Structure 1
Amino acid sequence: MSEPVNTFEALQQGRPTGPLVRGYEVIIGFETHAQLSTHSKIFSRAATAFGAEPNTQACAVDLALPGTLPVMNKGAVERAIQFGLAIGARIAPRSIFARKNYFYPDLPKGYQISQYEIPVVQGGSVSFFLGEESKTVRLVRAHLEEDAGKSLHEDFVGMSGIDLNRAGTPLLEIVTEPDMRSTAEAVAYARELHKIVTWIGICDGNMQEGSFRCDANVSVRKPGERLGTRREIKNLNSFKFMQQAIDYEIRWQIEQLEDGHAIQQATVLFDPGTGETRAMRTKEDAADYRYFPDPDLPPLAIASEWVERVRAQMTELPRVMAARFCADYGLSDYDATALTQSREMAAYFEATAKACNQPKLASNWIMGEVSRRLNTDEIGIEQAPVPAARLAQLITRIADETISNSAARQVFDALWTAEGSDVDGLIEAKGLKQMNDTSALDKIIDDVLAANTKSVEEFRAGKDKAFNALVGQVMKASKGKANPSQVNDSLRKKLG
């Protein structure tokens, strides 16, 4: 991966560090709330299971009843440490909790317990590929905090209610530097971050249930001008909506500026129905929340021995696995990164590669035909009807030249649609075995050359397309069973 661009210096000097949109530079930063995968809440023993009846998972601590005190959930801290290690961040040996004061009906205490001055995770970076270009986004921090409840609006009865099941659910808020310069880059970053938190198991990543929610801070400016005013798009809960929301916000801000209007700092929501963002409230700054240290919680102390114990228990990280795939299987950085998009995909590739001893072919097939069918059927690799062992058998038959690539695709389609389960049996039943009888191939080539004298003359006159035409005729005459490489070699020898 490439080294991070020094965007801070470039931003201050007004130098563009990415593509321009209608002459404007786009500047994007992210704040992501990842719900931690603990069974209980961050400061109480209440459950965090999704889908329970309203207010059945809210205890006295969550309701902020008089006399209750918060107690830190050790599992939430360990998950924060895991994330810090995964992104190469500093784990603060001492961090503190603060009260973030604001009023909202679903916040019983009148404040949210969060971290402000000293977060538990400091710095770090997330690297990913955008196409075949490597990108790196720097992180400012990741801090622990509690979630608020949820307002439920029942339009059909004209009433609203408060569900406090989510109140106190543990969150890790992950904040980036404003390093992204396009919608595509922002979405690629969000996907990579989603991969990391689900890979290491600290978050289930379910965006529909609110377990992984992204806020995008978007601003635009002319190169050389000072930073533009940002607007924050809240609670983006799908990558599709994220792309649509940021694209719309960029267009809206540019149009406002070109019409002579000033951008006002605000929090906005995206409406998937209209494809537009709309202002919810003017954006608050830190001073508006009157942060101060929470007197009920002592500083969070994390000894280096604790960090090392967590490190020793962690699974192999995706970037480490990708590097191993490059070293052990000779894959490119791009291929290795693509194959480690999920633990399931990585395991499928490794099982296939070991079974057929053809890692590059396995990589090509998984990134090609297998991924195509997964996308078409809208399923994950764990639901693929062709197990790794069977794909390995198919790849072995390609490698030993029993079948051609085009024939292999026919066999693969039959395996995928459960038309058959035995690779060799399907090859025999469909008559797809490649012709390896050189005398039979020589006769076909001789017949084709005799019947296509014009193409032979054109090739000898220097027209390469004529050679391709002759290859096509040989393949047609052999009903696709001839070995293409043998056809090429034999044709060239006979044509001198």
Structure 2
Amino acid sequence: MATDLAINRENRFARKNYFYPDLPKGYQISQFELPIAEHGRLEIEVEGRKKTIGITRAHMEEDAGKLVHDDLEPNSYVDLNRTGTPLLEIVSEPDLRSPEEAVAYLKKLHSIVRYLDICDGNMQEGSFRCDANISLRPQGQEELGTRTELKNMNSFRNVQLALEYEERRQRDILLDGGSVTQATLLWNPDANRTEAMRGKEEAHDYRYFPDPDLVPIHIDEEWIERVQAGLPELAGERQQRFIDALGLPEDVAAILTSSRDLADFFEQVCAVYDNPKKVSNFIATELLREYSPEQINDCPVSAQQLAALLQMVEKKTISGKIAKTVFADMLQSGDDPEKIVKEKGLVQMSDEGELVAIVREIIEANPEQAQQFREGKTKVMGFFVGQLMQKTKGKANPQMANKLFAQELK
């Protein structure tokens, strides 16, 4: 539904027959002529250009095993731990025209499966995997060229590197008058090259036929309506809302919605402290320095605690600079900001009488800079405020500091 796929009310499982060490029973349960969904689309954006990529189908099948190759000895091993695990395979139309578009498409799909809570999207652990087919053809020719399939790519970066390498390899073959051999290739990230795995099969090679042990599946309208009603707001929609309703810049909105957990966290903070721009700035500069958008649930600081910290800055209880120090302590201890500020005596100094005495002391100790200010060199104000912050250990109210220095220097 999130990719505009048409759901087939009747779909069935098939047997995909092939002989390979990762499939000991000789066939894989999959779907062929009647998949669960087909004819969808996904919009991507690359360098400011939007493009629609067609989705051929999405179907269920069982996972196969995994071959493990040992470089130190001439043996390969078969890991059957994931064999039989259900997986969702999504097949795209040949609409992608560059490695950059392929990565943008994958990232958009990755965002969707994460937002829908289908899986954690961890490519290193195999939760989200990609097989990429690539072919070249002379400009203007309608018929697609001979394709190769790339496997063993466990990051978006490796997908791009593998496609770029294979693009160069096929180009060189074709420009030399040769022909590309259809094959399945492995990406070797250590050597930065593709390596032959096996010849590439066509659909008829698998001798698909309906699985005689599994009945056809009927999907009823009530279930479809229930799922449709429960669809969450996806990343693209949420990003646009953050721009239109909250006034956030496009790049900031894109970062905040890159992970559903991060977007939820941001909105939870805003529900308590209603200042989206200040919240987004603090998250972008301080929180995301320590945690990636995908790791936000590992952060010991809750949305309510962060909102309380920003409220203390708003009320001038602490300065923005002190807030960063307090936040660092919160990341270590998980304590509330009020507790840390109280225990460490970090409450902002806003008593005018108390600050005037220190301001006068600083001016008297620095007559040369005072004279420069009186001669119109106002940039020296930064020096004076810095001295005050040093003496008060960052606790002086910056706005009051500027006002008092200007007043006393005159």
Give distance in 2, aligned partners of 1:200 and 1:102.
33
| From 320, 344, 357, the counterpart of 2:261 | 344
Runs of 5+ in structure 1 lacking a partner? 1-84, 460-465
How far off is 1:121 after superposition? 1.5
- Which one-letter code corresponds to 1:352 in the other structure? V
| From 195, 203, 225, the counterpart of 1:286 | 203
Seen in structure 2, the aligned counterparts of structure 1 residues 482 and 182 have a Cα distance that, compared at 3 Å, is: farther
| Partner SS state of residue 86, structure 1 | coil
CA 1:482–1:197 in 2, change beyond 3 Å: closer, same or farther?
same
Q: Is the 8 A contact 2:65 2:81 kept in 1?
A: yes
Q: TM-score, normalised by structure 1?
A: 0.66
Long gaps (5+) in structure 2: none
Counterpart-to-counterpart distance in 1, 2:367 and 2:47: 44
- Aligned to 2:18, which of 102, 106, 112? 102
- Shift in Å, 1:225: 5.8
Equivalent position to 1:390, from 286, 305, 316: 305
Distance in 2, matches of 1:286 and 1:449, equals 86
Q: 1:115 aligns with which of 31, 40, 44?
A: 31
Which residue does 2:291 correspond to in 1?
Answer: 374
Write out per-residue CA displacement over residues 11-47 of structure 1, whole angstroms, 9 at most, x where no aligned residue: xxxxxxxxxxxxxxxxxxxxxxxxxxxxxxxxxxxxx
After TM superposition, the structure 1 stretch with the greater mean CA deviation from structure 2, 169-178 or 395-404, is 395-404
Q: Residues 373 and 381 of structure 2 are in contact (CA less than 8 Å); yes or no, is this contact kept in structure 1?
A: no
CA distance in 2, matches of 1:315, 1:449: 64
Query: What whole-Å deviation, never above 9, does each CA across 1:311-343 have from its counterpart, x for those lacking one?
Result: 345555445555555566444554444323334
Partner of 1:451: 369
Whether contact under 8 Å (1:444, 1:478) holds in the other structure is no
Q: Determine helix, strand or coil for the equivalent of 1:174.
A: strand
* 1:3 equivalent in structure 2: none
Greater RCO (Cα-Cα under 8 Å, separation 6 or more) = 1
Q: Aligned letter for 1:170?
A: P
* Preserved CA contact (<8 Å) 1:358 1:395: no
Instruction: Give matches, 1:76-225, under 5 Å.
Output: 85-127=1-43, 137-151=53-67, 166-220=82-136, 224=140
Q: Offset at 1:94?
A: 2.7
Output the amino acid matched with 1:201.
D
SS at match of 1:207: coil
For 1:409, what is the secondary structure of its paired residue? helix
Residue 483 and residue 104 in structure 1: after superposition, are their counterparts in 2 closer, same or farther (change >3 A)?
same
The CA distance in 2 between the partners of 1:200 and 1:326, in whole Å, is: 22
In structure 2, C-alpha distance between the alignment counterparts of 1:249 and 1:242, rounded to whole Å:
11
Give 1:382 shift.
Answer: 1.5
Partner of 1:400: 315
**Superposition deviation, residue 430 in structure 1:** 6.1
**How many Å apart are 1:214 and its aligned residue?**
0.7
Q: 2:335 aligns with which of 406, 409, 421?
A: 421
Distance 2:176 2:405 in 1: 67
Q: CA deviation at 1:298?
A: 4.8
Deviation at 1:142, TM superposition (A): 0.8
**Closer, same or farther: CA 487–262 of 1 in aligned 2, 3 Å:** farther
Partner residue in 1 for 2:280:
363
CA shift at 1:307, angstroms? 0.8
The farther-off stretch of 146-155 and 395-404 is: 146-155
1:269 and 1:427, CA in 2 relative to 1: closer, same or farther beyond 3 A?
Answer: same
User: For residues 110 and 364 of structure 1, do their structure 2 counterparts lie closer, same or farther at Cα, with a shift above 3 Å needed?
Assistant: same
Q: Is the 8 A contact 2:362 2:388 kept in 1?
A: no
Q: Which stretch shifts more, 280-289 or 484-493?
A: 484-493
Are the aligned partners of 2:100 and 2:160 in contact in 1 as well (CA < 8 Å)?
yes
Stretch deviating more after TM superposition (389-398 or 248-257): 248-257
Secondary structure, counterpart of 2:132 in structure 1 = strand
1:15 aligns with: none
Secondary structure of 1:148's counterpart equals coil
The one-letter code of the counterpart of 2:152 is N
Q: 1:232 aligns with which of 138, 143, 149?
A: 149
Q: CA RMSD in A?
A: 4.2
In the alignment, is the contact (CA less than 8 A) between 1:89 and 1:123 conserved in 2?
Answer: yes
Give, in angstroms, the shift of residue 281 of structure 1. Answer: 2.5
Count of residues paired in the alignment: 401
- State the Cα distance separating 1:129 from its structure 2 match: 6.4
Return the offset for 1:456: 6.6
Q: Distance in 2 between matches of 1:142 and 1:155?
A: 36
The answer to whether structure 1 residue 433 and structure 2 residue 351 are counterparts is no
